[in-house]
Amino acid sequence: MSWNILIGGYVKNGDLETARKLFDEMPARNVATWNAMVAGLTNSGLNEESLGFFFAMRREGMQPDEYGLGSLFRCCAGLRDVVSGRQVHAYVVRSGLDRDMCVGSSLAHMYMRCGFLRDGEAALRALPSLNIVSCNTTISGRTQNGDAEGALEFFCLMRGAGVEANAVTFVSAVTSCSDLAALAQGQQIHALAIKTGVDKVVPVMTSLVHMYSRCGCLGDSERVCLEYSGTDLVLCSAMISAYGFHGHGQKAVGLFKQMMAAGAEPNEVTFLTLLYACSHSGLKDEGMNCFELMTKTYGLQPSVKHYTCIVDLLGRSGCLNEAEDLILSMPVQPDGVIWKTLLSACKTQKKFDMAERIAERVIELDPHDSASYVLLSNIRATSSRWEDVSKVRETMREQNVRKEPGVSWVELKGQIHQFCTGDESHSRQREIVECLEEMMTRIRQCGYAPDMSMVFHDMEDEEKEVSLAHHSEKLAIAFAFLSLPEGVPIRVMKNLRVCDDCHVAIKLMSKVIGREIVVRDVSRFHHFKDGKCSCGDYW
């Protein structure tokens, strides 16, 4: 017994080296000893070693109990190793422990983390009853696998079954609202968190900051953040990220300085959110100073994501050669995203020769990324190189690369209304088109001219104009204008980058209808008001 106490003590204190040494010297080991080592290795992120202990344990004829099996499934989840997970699952079934609440919940978590949602839910259905652990596993699993609507449905089902949500539940549910930009549902869940008494738990507050930000309500994010009396690194980083996503770089820098003055020590994530905020606001000097502070003062190693922010900063400033030199000389392997960032800067700065060269690198790294081909096509279209545009389309066909369709959506009274480019399926389609045509007429009177380079050249001019006018975000704006009370800001979410033509059109729409229009695209928020956009026309 004394050996187990010693080993357990070292494991809890994180001294696995001493625990392993004692384990090897131990004259006789029992299940508790093996379980302690497996749990300790898993909790320390040493998942491969933990799995090795399990198989060695089985070779010695030892049978892990439910706690050891729970650790093993967490280990397989961390590795995304569904093959080993299935082996452990088979052992669990043979042992008759698959209906144990602890084991079954851990098993479901493993499958869901590995992307096998149906297997995970099947494991949960095999359990004798629902409890908070199994419910949290289902909700977080669905959220992590992109099924945000399913996660929220199960959240409602769980409450109906009388299972009381805890902080972990609220984090997953709020995250699902963020993914859907479902503001009304997010507000309802926030109210429930207040009623339950977990609204001041930092992970819940952090998820709320993120949710309100992703729904376009930066002021609500600020209010949640201000409710925390101290200075929490994760919460502050979330708020800095929110400022960056909305183009408020100076506020992000100000919050970072407050955090530093309060004695918080920033980590890699904090610096990434700050660099992102600086790059999206064109704060070159602040961004470069931040990068120097990170590397020289704090001795942190930048990842490719940090370097991507610097490349974006340099690109906005027109320093494209400097940005390319940085990519070629940085100590980490460049990925497609960093080259695509430089390619986008080439388009904005109209450096078309350089863009051709960079595009080759981007497509070589990821030949099946449709966004890269679309960006190259738009660059060539801008300089009226229609034959070369056709070559891009031909290459896409040969590589079986399909352009991702543009989808925009609006939330109205808790319901999501979705629109695709050229969509005619909405029940109010005629009203929407008439409203949109009236808006387009009014903005033409203000000087709007459709950017025909955004449409393939083999269409007639009238057809091109109709195609541009029926982009998904324009349809969504027209629907929201018809549906919302006068003066209420219009909030639209889009899965892709807002095209140049829509950006110009929406600026003028905000002016002629006298309404703020907030559009979230794949990279940031655009706040359109009185004919101007918060992004400064660089996105």
Over 50: is that where the pLDDT of 124 sits?
Answer: yes
Q: What percent of the chain has pLDDT over 90?
A: 44
Which residues lie closer than 8 Å to 147 by C-beta, 6 or more apart? 117
CB count within 10 Å of CB 483 equals 16
Cα–chain-centroid distance for residue 56? 39
| pLDDT tops 80 at residue 7 | no
Digit-coded pLDDT (tens) for 16-30: 677 777 777 776 677
- Residue 10 confidence (pLDDT) above 50: yes
Residue 248 has pLDDT above 80, yes or no: yes
Better-scored residue on pLDDT, 470 or 468: 470
pLDDT, residue 230, reads: 83
Binned at pLDDT 50, 70 and 90, residue 324 comes out as very high
Q: Residue 2: pLDDT band by 50, 70, 90 thresholds?
A: low
> Mean pLDDT over all residues of the chain?
87
Kind and range of the H or E element at 87? helix 82-95
Lowest mean pLDDT among 14-18, 83-87, 234-238, 310-314: 14-18
Under a CB-based contact definition with an 8 Å cutoff, are residues 76 and 88 in contact? yes
Q: Which has the higher per-residue pLDDT, 70 or 343?
A: 343
Give the per-residue pLDDT at 435: 95
Q: What is the DSSP letter of 484?
A: S
* Residue 430: count of CB within 10 angstroms of its CB: 10
- Position 507 pLDDT exceeds 80: yes
- In degrees and rounded to multiples of 5, residue 416 shows phi and psi of -90, 125
pLDDT at 455: 57
The β-bridge relationship of strands 415-420 and 407-412 is antiparallel
Instruction: Please report which confidence band the pLDDT of residue 13 belongs to, taking 50, 70 and 90 as the band edges.
Output: low
**pLDDT of amino acid 431:** 94
Of residues 184 and 141, more confidently modeled:
184
Whether the per-residue pLDDT at 150 is higher than 90: the answer is no
More confident residue, 133 or 198: 198
Closest CA to 522 of 503, 506, 501, 498: 498
Q: Are strands 517-520 and 525-529 parallel, antiparallel or unpaired?
A: antiparallel
**Taking the CA of residue 88 as centre, how many other CA atoms within 13 Å lie in the half-sphere pointing to its CB?**
32
Taking the C-alpha atoms of residue 533 and residue 537, their distance in angstroms, rounded to an integer, is 7
- Give tens-digit pLDDT for 385-401: 878 888 888 888 888 88
Distance CA 488, CA 387 (A): 46
Q: Give the separation between CA 49 and CA 29, rounded to whole angstroms.
A: 18
Q: Which residue has the higher pLDDT, 156 or 218?
A: 218
pLDDT (tens digit per residue) in 298-315: 999 999 999 999 999 999
pLDDT of residue 385: 82
Classify 262 as helix, strand or coil.
Answer: coil
19-33, 128-142, 393-407, 423-437: least confidently modelled range? 19-33
DSSP notation for 393-430: HHHHHHTT--PPPPEEEEEETTEEEEEETT---STTHH
Q: Are 66 and 96 in contact (CB under 8 A)?
A: no
Q: Is the pLDDT of residue 264 over 80?
A: yes
**What pTM does this model have?**
0.74
User: Please, which residues have CB within 8 angstroms of residue 360's CB and are 6 or more apart in sequence?
Assistant: none
pLDDT band at 459, cuts 50/70/90? very low
Sign of torsion over alpha carbons 477, 457, 406, 525: negative
Q: Are strands 517-520 and 490-494 parallel, antiparallel or unpaired?
A: parallel
pLDDT of 460 reads 46
The number of helices, as runs of H, and strands, as runs of E, in the chain is 28, 6
The answer to whether residue 464 scores a pLDDT higher than 60 is no
If one compares 268 and 88, the residue with the highest pLDDT of the two is 268
* Residue 456 confidence (pLDDT) above 80: no
pLDDT for residue 11: 63
